[in-house]
Amino acid sequence: MSPSFKGTPLLDSRSRTAESDPSLLFPPPLRPILQGPTMPAQVRVDVFRAESRLYTAVSSGVIDIGRVDPGPTVTPPEILGTPLVQADGTTRFPIAEPGETAISRHQLLIRPLGPGSVEVGNASKEIVVHFRHDRSRLLPGTTVERKLPVQLEITLDRDRLQVNLADANAGTAPPSINDTLVPLAHSTLFVDSAPVSAGKQPLGDVLASMEESSVHQLVEWWKYVIAVLQSASDSDQFFDKAAEAVCSLVQLDVGEVFLYRDGRWVSVAKRAQTGAATHSQSVLESVRVLKQTLRSRPQAEDDMSKSQVRLEAYVASPIVDGHDGNVIGALYGHRSRGFGGSEGRDISPLEALLVETLACGLATGLARVKEKEKAVAERVKFAQFFTPKLAAQLESQPDLLTGRDAAVSVLFCDIVGFSSVAEKVGTAMTMEWISDVLTELSSKVVETEGVLVDYVGDELMAMWGAPTAQEDHAERACRAAKAMLDAQETINERWFGRIHTKTTYSIGINSGNARVGNTGSTMKFKYGPLGNVVNLASRVRGTTKFFKVDAIITGDTRDELQEGFLTRRLCSVRVINIDKPVELHELDPGDDPRRRELFGRYDEGLVAFESGQFANATRILGQLVNDHPKDGPSLVLLSRSVDAMVNPDKYSAVWDLPSK
């Protein structure tokens, strides 16, 4: 059956439907509330049960207040205490459980009329609502206009709900259950910054009108405040200092700092006299919702809630996150009845302002701690990839990590025979061995100020030239490679007796332009390069097995090197999945004259081969292999020369490698 009022059906099927006009769900006297023009003024609704603030909603349109409607056709499902804007602009605000039948599903309709006033309607068919100030009744199906703030009361089975209405833009808080809290004249977030010429009395004039002793006391106050603010910027004890300052400056027996975490108030610092009363939870909740500093006003004991009977005066100021404006904590203090010699004295606006100043200092201190923790996290993240010097630089210049193009050199190093060793010695020793070897190799990257990009199984990837530009990136990469090869002797001294196999590894280096940045994801950071230069560096590392050498670099890398590096041009090859031929050079770790002589003779044979003088190339390389039977490149080139003599029509100066 459709809802009705005094026997009048709410749905008029002859004209409009509830779907086309939601106002038809309500009695005719209330329909103008929904159908009338909505003013830009905002109304804040605060709901209390007993002393505790439960829910808050803010709207510039009509607000429909009642118990949760659990009906299956309600979409989306209503959630207790959660305001939801409907398609017609009405804010639905369920404030009681579905089974709380002492309040209707549609109990109150609130419509802003303009700054400072609202129209209030009782949409229930039988439940009466009371105005708290004058105890007048709002009968079912009636509407009235009221000036804000407004306090309404709905009697439940065991207690009552209080619904407070206030102008959300007025900068003043709605009163709490017992009207004991007085906000400062400004919001903590938006302090009036008008200049002195706008009506404020100059500080000098104010001080001149005060007695000298009062001025002296005021100076001592601010010295104390300044000391606490300084501790917020350079000390980890600022919570304790702030709690102590509240007690000392305002003569309270409890000073306490709270942080709001996961929907709960957590005490992080407290100064309290023996026997002092515990804090008021409702005061903290009021500060959180209103985002304003609150102080108590004198009150009769009969008007207090049970938790406030022992409290004579209290003050609390929000600690506000400067980034999003949310309340993340509060600086709180109170004076219990009978404490010290201050009984009967109210907390002044100036004292409340001092507490607010301290709270702002705490916000600064928390921001400092947050930035410090972020810096530590960033340093830990960066330290996985960068040298300490570069990690520190990136902390101060994080924009260096932004994706960009850069000239880089990329190195791949792979441990030879890893699988056979792992099978032989087992997983435990394999992990210990591989960790030690990769640590040794990584240190060579760090020593040359490179970036450790990644570890993939038994392979290491490193880069030079980013995030900060390095003109000598190729030389740094080659110096690191030489140091890695030199470290083989040290590694084998530690491990040969345990794994009974010589530890060797192969290295490939390529230089060129790449896109550098976070090549990982938002879940896992990995700074490194992307592009063909990376793919080719990996392929070049794989060519070492064909030439039986430890380290190979590309022609692009060799062109970047100055004097001091012994290299041998091997040949031009075409690697798998890359069509363009690439020139390969062996990188020698030392500067042995015999190796120089070998490299020179090899180059003669290579020139002869590439010019089609196969017989001459075979003669030169044959003599070279006779003198250096274990030289892999000479054996490979000799084989190619012989094949070319036998099958000259299949000759190519570029060697197409059979695999990776």
Contact 142, 129 (CB under 8 A): no
Q: Domain for residue 274, yes or no?
A: yes
Contact 60, 45 (CB under 8 A): no
Residue 96 structure tokens = 């009681």
Residue 104 structure tokens = 């209707």
Report which DSSP code applies to 470: -
| Same domain assignment for residues 8 and 72 | yes
| Same domain assignment for residues 217 and 360 | yes
What are the residue ranges in the chain where pLDDT is below 50? 1-40, 171-179, 189-199, 298-309
| Same domain assignment for residues 229 and 316 | yes
Looking at residue 217, what is its pLDDT?
Answer: 67
Looking at residue 199, what is its pLDDT?
Answer: 47
Distance of alpha carbon 468 from alpha carbon 466, whole angstroms = 5
Supply the range of the domain harboring residue 129. Answer: 4-170
Amino acid at 325: G
Looking at residue 214, what is its pLDDT?
Answer: 67
Distance of alpha carbon 6 from alpha carbon 502, whole angstroms = 99
| Same domain assignment for residues 244 and 342 | yes
Select from 193, 195, 174 the least CA-distant residue to 183.
174
- Which CB contacts under 8 angstroms, 24+ apart, belong to 426-432? 429/498, 429/499
53: three-class secondary structure by DSSP: strand
Select from 359, 256, 364, 273 the least CA-distant residue to 314.
256
Looking at residue 352, what is its pLDDT?
Answer: 83
State the CATH number of the domain containing residue 11.
2.60.200.20
Distance of alpha carbon 299 from alpha carbon 428, whole angstroms = 74
State the CATH number of the domain containing residue 282.
3.30.450.40
Looking at residue 190, what is its pLDDT?
Answer: 39
Q: Domain for residue 543, yes or no?
A: no
Residues in the chain: 660
Select from 153, 142, 86 the least CA-distant residue to 109.
142
| Same domain assignment for residues 216 and 158 | no
Q: Domain for residue 634, yes or no?
A: no
Q: Domain for residue 436, yes or no?
A: no
Cα within 13 Å of Cα(175), Cβ side:
13
Looking at residue 384, what is its pLDDT?
Answer: 62
Q: Which of 170, 201, 230 is the last residue of a domain?
A: 170
| Same domain assignment for residues 355 and 241 | yes
Q: Domain for residue 463, yes or no?
A: no
43: three-class secondary structure by DSSP: strand
Residue 545 structure tokens = 């097995």
Looking at residue 465, what is its pLDDT?
Answer: 95
Looking at residue 303, what is its pLDDT?
Answer: 38
DSSP structure string for 269-326: EEEE-TTPPPP-HHHHHHHHHH-S-EEE----GGGS-GGGTTEEEEEEEEEE-TTT--
Distance of alpha carbon 408 from alpha carbon 453, whole angstroms = 13
* CB-count exposure of residue 422 (10 Å: 0-12, 13-18, 19+): middle
Distance of alpha carbon 596 from alpha carbon 626, whole angstroms = 17
| Same domain assignment for residues 226 and 162 | no
Residue 101 structure tokens = 């039948």
Element (H, E) at 572: strand 566-574
Reduced 3-state DSSP string for 511-554 = EEEEEEEECCCCCCCCEEEECHHHHHHHHHHHHHHHHCCCEEEE
Q: Domain for residue 515, yes or no?
A: no
| Same domain assignment for residues 217 and 344 | yes
| Same domain assignment for residues 88 and 224 | no
| Same domain assignment for residues 128 and 217 | no
| Same domain assignment for residues 166 and 214 | no
Q: Which of 355, 370, 385 is the last residue of a domain?
A: 370
Q: Domain for residue 73, yes or no?
A: yes
- Domain tally for the chain? 2
Q: Which of 306, 339, 370 is the last residue of a domain?
A: 370
Is the peptide bond prior to 76 cis by the omega test (within 30 degrees of 0)?
Answer: yes
| Same domain assignment for residues 165 and 262 | no
**Model confidence over 439-465: pLDDT tens digits?**
999 999 999 999 999 999 899 999 999
Q: Domain for residue 328, yes or no?
A: yes
